[in-house]
Amino acid sequence: MLYSIPTIAAFASLAAAQRPNGTSICDYYTTALLKNNTAVNQMTLLTLLVNTAVIGNYTKPNVGITVPGILAKGKVNETEVDLLPYFIGGLVSSNRGNKAVSVNFLDDGGAVPLTLNKAANGTNSAQYRLLTHLYEYFGGLLGCSLQGQDGYPKYAGSNNMGSVHKFMGLSHAEVTYFITQVGLSAASFGVTTEDVTAVGTALNEAFGYICSPPASIPASEPKEPQAICQADDCPLAANAQCSAYDKVVEPATATSSAVATGSATKVAGQSGGPMATSGAEVGKEVGGVMGVVAAAGVFAMVL
Ligand code: HEM
């Protein structure tokens, strides 16, 4: 099923215009794409952005940019990347009470509800919690001004990205692939190259450097370790503060004896991917989409 956006043709020409100073990416593209800048429409924009980044293109029409999706296998500069096992409980890589456990995050419909512009079939699952947290977190990063009003709750998950991702041992290629999918998703809705590059650079700066010193993201929160790239091949942060992080251990493959807690947590093998309906182009070469130029500030500065 394709989610159609009647105003998208008008949007493509609008988006080519310069985003005014002082208007956030979220507010600008909500108006451009969905006409009225309301909390509900901001939530819809972030749902489109995140769902497309996760499962690949499912909207029509788009501006002709293919998004393979975070769940599809890909390559970053000749390095193969496969993030799916982290999301289907294939690895003992989730942090629950500072213990590594395996969690299936596609436990409530997998890709199908995402193609219907939803987070999950229901509202009480690991899938629902993760997807809604991503809508909310990225909405904060992109400056959604109406978040907190009816229809678009403020982010209620952890603000310590280092801890959330601490048992994943994510490499430079894995983090780059993820960020690239977010950028491609935005570009597929007509977000300008300038804005896509700004977001990609900000994400990379904030989360892509091992041992990055604790930072407040968003600015209103206490300082926490935020590095998501934690494997040995990750670029070292300026002012690195490795003591803020535990030593990284690469996640084990989940087995039936792996720890599993909570009703939505289960141990699963790596077969049976969720991609049957997404039409994502698996194995497409990515990389080089985003400028990896170091920027001094993070989101406050560019967004
Ligand atoms: C810029 C990069 C990234 C950002 C901003 C980001 C952000 C987030 C956020 C906000 C959450 C929800 C935390 C919560 O519910 O408290 C999350 C969870 C998660 N992320 Fe990321 N992420 C990034 C990269 C990655 C990458 C590269 C992977 C690769 C597998 C990944 C896998 C996951 C998984 C599996 C979860 C669920 C964790 C859990 O509930 O235990 N993320 N991420």
Q: Is 85 a domain residue?
A: yes
- Taking only the tens place, the pLDDT of each residue in 76-100 is 999 999 999 999 999 999 999 999 9
Query: Which atom of ligand 1 is the closest one to the Cα of 157?
Result: 16
Q: What pLDDT band is residue 18 in, cutting at 50, 70 and 90?
A: confident
Measured distance CA(189)–CA(57) in Å, rounded: 10
Cβ burial, residue 51 (10 Å; 0-12/13-18/19+): buried
Could you tell me if 147 and 153 are in contact, meaning their C-beta atoms sit under 8 angstroms apart? yes
- Ligand 1 pocket list (CB less than 6 A): 83, 86-87, 94-95, 103, 105, 130, 133-134, 137, 157-158, 161, 164-165, 168, 170, 174-175, 178-179, 203, 207, 228
Q: What is the pLDDT of residue 294?
A: 23
Q: Phi, psi at residue 7, to the nearest 5°?
A: -90, 5
Sheet harboring 285-286: ordered strands across? 79-81, 74-76, 285-286
Ligand 1, atom 39, lies closest to the CA of 94
pLDDT at 274: 37
**Residue with CA at minimum distance from ligand 1 atom 27:** 175
How many A from CA of 134 to the centre of ligand 1?
8
pLDDT at 266 over 50: no
State in Å: Cα 240 to ligand 1 middle.
22
Give the pLDDT score at 87. Answer: 98
Structural domain contains residue 1: no
Q: Is the pLDDT of residue 171 over 60?
A: yes
Q: Tell me whether residue 3 is in a domain.
A: no
More confident residue, 280 or 133: 133
The C-alpha atoms of residue 99 and residue 226 are separated, in whole angstroms, by 18
Question: Are the C-beta atoms of 173 and 81 separated by less than 8 Å?
Answer: yes
Q: Is a pLDDT exceeding 60 seen at residue 170?
A: yes
Calculate mean pLDDT across residues 167-179.
98
Give the residue carrying structure tokens 């995050």. 105
Supply the residue whose CA is at minimum distance from atom 31 of ligand 1: 165
Pick the more confident residue, 62 or 238: 238
User: What is the number of the ligand 1 atom nearest to the C-alpha of 158?
Assistant: 16
Amino acid at position 51, single letter:
N
Give the residue numbers spanning the domain of 224: 8-302
- Asked if 140 and 218 count as a contact pair (C-beta separation under 8 A), the reply is yes
Task: Report which of residues 298 and 256 the model is more confident about.
Answer: 256
| Cβ neighbours of residue 221 closer than 8 Å, sequence gap 6 or more | 159
- Residue of minimum CA distance from atom 9 in ligand 1: 134
- Residues 152-168 pLDDT 10s: 999 999 999 999 999 99
Tens of pLDDT, residue by residue over 212-221, are 999 999 999 9
Record the pTM.
0.86
Number of domains in the chain: 1
Is there a contact between 124 and 288 (Cβ–Cβ < 8 Å)? no
Mean per-residue pLDDT, 267-291: 29
Q: Are 173 and 79 in contact (CB under 8 A)?
A: yes
Residue 79: both structure tokens together = 């390095």
Contacts of 17 (CB under 8 A, 6+ apart): none
The answer to which of 18-22, 69-73, 204-208 has the lowest mean pLDDT is: 18-22
| Ligand 1 center to 94 CA (angstroms) | 10
172 Cα to the center of ligand 1, angstroms: 15
pLDDT reported for residue 256: 61
- C-alpha distances (whole Å) from 297 to each of 63, 256, 285, 292 are 30, 44, 29, 14
Give distance in angstroms: CA of 7 to centre of ligand 1: 31
In the predicted structure, residue 265 carries a pLDDT above the cut 70: no
Instruction: Give a yes or no: residue 265 inside a domain.
Output: yes
The strand pair at 74-76 and 285-286 is best described as parallel
> Atom of ligand 1 at shortest distance to CA of 129?
15
User: Is the per-residue pLDDT at 199 higher than 60?
Assistant: yes
Give tens-digit pLDDT for 45-67: 999 999 999 999 999 878 999 99
Span from the CA of 77 to the centroid of ligand 1 (angstroms) = 22
The residue contributing the CA closest to ligand 1 atom 42 is 165
Please tell me the residue having the least CA distance from ligand 1 atom 14: 157
Share of residues in the chain with pLDDT > 90 (%):
76
Query: pLDDT at residue 11 above 70?
Result: no
Between the CA of 149 and the centroid of ligand 1 the distance, in Å, is 24
Q: How confident is the model at residue 16, as a pLDDT?
A: 53
- CA-to-CA dists, residue 100 to 165, 176, 214, 244, angstroms: 10, 23, 22, 18
Q: 33, 36, 102, 97: which is closest to 253 by C-alpha?
A: 102
Q: Nearest to residue 267, comparing CAs of 281, 280, 253?
A: 253
Residue 289: pLDDT over 80? no
Which residue, by CA, sits nearest to atom 21 of ligand 1? 165
| Atom from ligand 1 closest to the CA of residue 155 | 10
More confident of the two residues 13 and 207: 207
Q: Is residue 247 part of a domain?
A: yes
